[in-house]
């Protein structure tokens, strides 16, 4: 088990003692003592258009006796077999097809009256864990918005009807988290004061406008007010933290830059966690029915078209599997970046204290159904036993959403999504 500390801290300490070996022992002893207390942050990554199970499933048996083949979708996880849980046999029991699957994936199709109130699990966690950080949640996207904002293109919900919009532009993400405030402490304080006076005036205008509108439009103004609250929290000084580098020139819409944008967003997401500005982050690659063309792999057809290749179409299946394997590589890149950076709150790496979930919106893409939707978990600070391949035999994925809440310390959660469909956590996961 490797244990990574901040390089700067390591070099400084080693330089000070001039005795490297004993120091390392101390370090290791410390890590061994640090009992896992569960993750303190969560990352959810999404990639679209279902899967082809026989190319996705590990070889071997469920339990700990499993592996991967180079032809398979999950092959890039072969080196990290012991750091992940492969979850098979989880189904969306009340949704079928692209659009419903996209909505159900993180919400379990909860209604306003349900305990989760229609929120997606990331927003639910943000609402419970988001205090005391600048961003209750950060949503990062890679080309999620060419079709506008809609049920197909969004996975995150603040309420039954309000979607959380991902930021598709790495430059904008950088600016929001690290940009903006320059100067000495007094200047920064004065700037924040000016911005606060600006926000106060906008709130005053909202109140004035509210007196004019009827009940139909009051929710719109309420949503605006709520949004300003988030802006106000973001006004605090930006992260004085070394992990992010400014983003170069990127066209967020250019198909061929899909990988470049994804890498930049992953780096920024991990840096934001390392700088402690948020505890809940999502990374959404494209969207359901998403059409990116994997030109960088020499693939000519769009991802959604390929996802519907039947077994007779061997070239199409091959291209789809290659594209899916590429997404696995991106998941691995995310894990690697999380492993490289230190936990800002204490010992361990970011990865060892972060629950990472890779979610999809459909099971077999050729059938448009949501049975055996693939999930992969990683990290988790000891919340789940890693290095396992589990098959839940058609259990509701809402149980996984409950288990995620439990892992994050919210043990009062008894159901997520529609409780008429499923309640309770996922047996056999912990």
Partner 1 sequence: MKRLGFVIIALVAGCTGSIGDPTCEGGECATVVVNDEGPRDCSKNALGPRQLRRLTNEEYDASVFALTGVQSTYGRSFVADPVIHNFDNNARALKMSPLLAEQLREAAEAVAASMTIPPCSSAPRACARELLVRLGRRAFHRPLDESEISDYLGVFDSGAGVDYRTGAALMVATMLQSPFFLYRTELGVRDDSGVYVLTQHELATQLAYTFSGTLPDEALLAKADAAELDSPEALEEEARRLLQTASGRATMVRFVQQWLGLERLASVPKDGVTYPELTPELRQSMLDESRRFIEHVLFTTSGTFADLLTSTTTFLDERLATLHGAAAGQVTLSSRRGGVLMLTGTLATHALANGSSPIHRGILVRTHLLCTELPPPPPGVNANPPTVTPGVSTRERYAQHSADSACRACHALIDPIGFAFEGFDGIGRSRSTDNGAPIDTAAEISAFDGTTVAVADAMDVAQALAGSAQAQACFASQWSIYASGVERGASECVAADLAPNVATLSVQDLMASTVRSSSFVRRSGNGGSAPGPAAPTEEAPQPTEPEQPPPTPTGGVIATVSTNSQWATGGCHDVLVANQGAAASTWMVMLAVPGTITNAWNSSRDRDSGTVTFTGAAWNASLAPGATASFGYCFEL
**Near partner 1 in 118-157, by CB under 8 A:** 118, 139, 143, 145-151, 153
Query: How far, CA to CA in Å, does 104 sit from each of 152, 264, 323, 423?
Result: 11, 28, 24, 15
As to burial, measured by CB atoms within 10 angstroms (0-12 exposed, 13-18 middle, 19+ buried), residue 80 is: middle
Nearer to partner 1, 114 or 388 (CB): 114
- CB 138 within 8 Å of CB 147: no
Q: What is the closest distance, in whole angstroms, from the C-beta atom of residue 88 to partner 1 in the complex?
A: 20
- CB 424 within 8 Å of CB 415: yes
**Residues 90-119, mask of contacts with partner 1 (x by CB under 8 A):** ----xxxxxxx--x---x-xxx------x-
Nearer to partner 1, 110 or 379 (CB): 110
Nearer to partner 1, 82 or 311 (CB): 311
| Binding test (CB under 8 A) with partner 1, winner from 12, 26, 209, 237 | 209
Residues 310-339, interacting with partner 1 (CB under 8 A):
310, 312-313, 315-316
Residues 336-355, interacting with partner 1 (CB under 8 A):
none
Residues 216-275, interacting with partner 1 (CB under 8 A):
216-217, 220-221, 223-224, 226-228, 230-231, 234, 252-256
Which has the closest alpha carbon to 42: 419, 405, 360? 405
Q: What is the closest distance, in whole angstroms, from the C-beta atom of residue 257 to partner 1 in the complex?
A: 11
Which has the closest alpha carbon to 387: 71, 76, 68, 65? 65
Q: What is the closest distance, in whole angstroms, from the C-beta atom of residue 6 to partner 1 in the complex?
A: 29
Nearer to partner 1, 139 or 361 (CB): 139
Nearer to partner 1, 192 or 386 (CB): 192
| Binding test (CB under 8 A) with partner 1, winner from 88, 122, 167, 361 | 167
Residues 399-428, interacting with partner 1 (CB under 8 A):
418, 420-421
Stretch that binds partner 1, among 33-41, 69-77, 166-174, 260-268 (CB under 8 A): 166-174
| Binding test (CB under 8 A) with partner 1, winner from 190, 237, 297, 427 | 190
Q: What is the closest distance, in whole angstroms, from the C-beta atom of residue 165 to partner 1 in the complex?
A: 4
Nearer to partner 1, 16 or 186 (CB): 186
Query: How far, CA to CA in Å, does 119 sit from each of 151, 182, 269?
Result: 14, 36, 22
- The site for partner 1, by CB under 8 A, has a size of 93
Nearer to partner 1, 62 or 152 (CB): 152
Query: How far, CA to CA in Å, does 234 sit from each of 48, 122, 147, 186, 322?
Result: 30, 19, 28, 18, 40
Stretch that binds partner 1, among 37-45, 202-210, 329-337, 379-387 (CB under 8 A): 202-210
Stretch that binds partner 1, among 67-75, 159-167, 272-280, 335-343 (CB under 8 A): 159-167
- Total length of the chain: 430
Residues 21-80, interacting with partner 1 (CB under 8 A):
none
Q: What is the closest distance, in whole angstroms, from the C-beta atom of residue 12 to partner 1 in the complex?
A: 36
Residues 282-311, interacting with partner 1 (CB under 8 A):
291-293, 295, 298, 300-302, 305, 308-310
- CB 323 within 8 Å of CB 297: yes
For 157, list phi and psi in degrees, rounded to 5: -125, 130
| Binding test (CB under 8 A) with partner 1, winner from 11, 26, 29, 367 | 367
Nearer to partner 1, 39 or 136 (CB): 136
């Amino acid at each position: 088990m490797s244990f990574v500390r901040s390089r700067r801290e390591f070099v400084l300490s080693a330089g000070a003692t001039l005795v490297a070996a004993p120091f390392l022992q101390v370090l290791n002893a410390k890590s061994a003592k640090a009992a896992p207390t569960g993750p303190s942050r969560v990352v959810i990554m999404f990639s679209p258009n279902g899967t082809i199970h026989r190319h996705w499933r590990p070889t071997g048996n469920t339990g700990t006796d499993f592996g991967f083949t180079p032809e398979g979708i999950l092959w890039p996880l072969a080196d990290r077999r012991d750091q992940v849980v492969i979850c098979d046999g989880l189904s969306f029991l009340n949704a079928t097809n692209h659009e419903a699957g996209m909505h159900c994936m993180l919400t379990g199709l909860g209604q306003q009256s349900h305990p989760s109130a229609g929120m997606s699990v990331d927003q639910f966690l943000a609402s419970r864990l988001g205090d005391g950080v600048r961003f209750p949640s950060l949503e990062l996207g890679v080309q999620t918005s060419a079709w506008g904002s809609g049920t197909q293109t969004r996975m995150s919900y603040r309420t039954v009807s309000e979607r959380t919009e991902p930021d598709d532009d790495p430059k904008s993400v950088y600016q929001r988290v690290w940009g903006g405030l320059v100067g000495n402490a007094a200047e920064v304080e004065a700037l924040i004061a000016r911005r606060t006076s600006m926000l106060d005036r906008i709130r005053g205008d909202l109140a004035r406008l509210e007196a004019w509108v009827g009940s139909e439009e009051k929710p719109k103004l309420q949503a605006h007010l709520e949004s300003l609250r988030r802006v106000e929290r973001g006004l605090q000084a930006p992260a004085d933290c070394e992990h992010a580098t400014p983003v170069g020139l990127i066209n967020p819409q250019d198909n061929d830059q899909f990988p470049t944008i994804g890498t930049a967003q992953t780096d920024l997401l991990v840096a934001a966690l390392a700088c402690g500005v948020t505890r809940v982050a999502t990374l959404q690659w494209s969207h359901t029915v998403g059409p990116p063309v994997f030109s960088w792999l020499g693939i000519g057809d769009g991802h959604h078209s390929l996802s519907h290749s039947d077994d007779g179409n061997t070239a199409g299946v091959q291209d789809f599997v290659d594209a899916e394997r590429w997404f696995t590589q991106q998941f691995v890149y995310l894990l690697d970046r999380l492993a490289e950076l230190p936990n800002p709150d204490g010992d361990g790496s970011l990865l060892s204290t972060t629950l990472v979930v890779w979610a999809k919106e459909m099971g077999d893409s050729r059938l448009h159904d949501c049975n055996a939707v693939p999930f992969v978990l990683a990290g988790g600070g000891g919340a789940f036993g890693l290095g396992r391949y589990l098959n839940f035999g058609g259990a509701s994925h809402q149980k996984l959403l409950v288990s995620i809440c439990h892992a994050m310390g919210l043990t009062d959660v008894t159901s997520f999504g529609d409780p008429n469909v499923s309640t309770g956590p996922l047996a056999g996961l912990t």
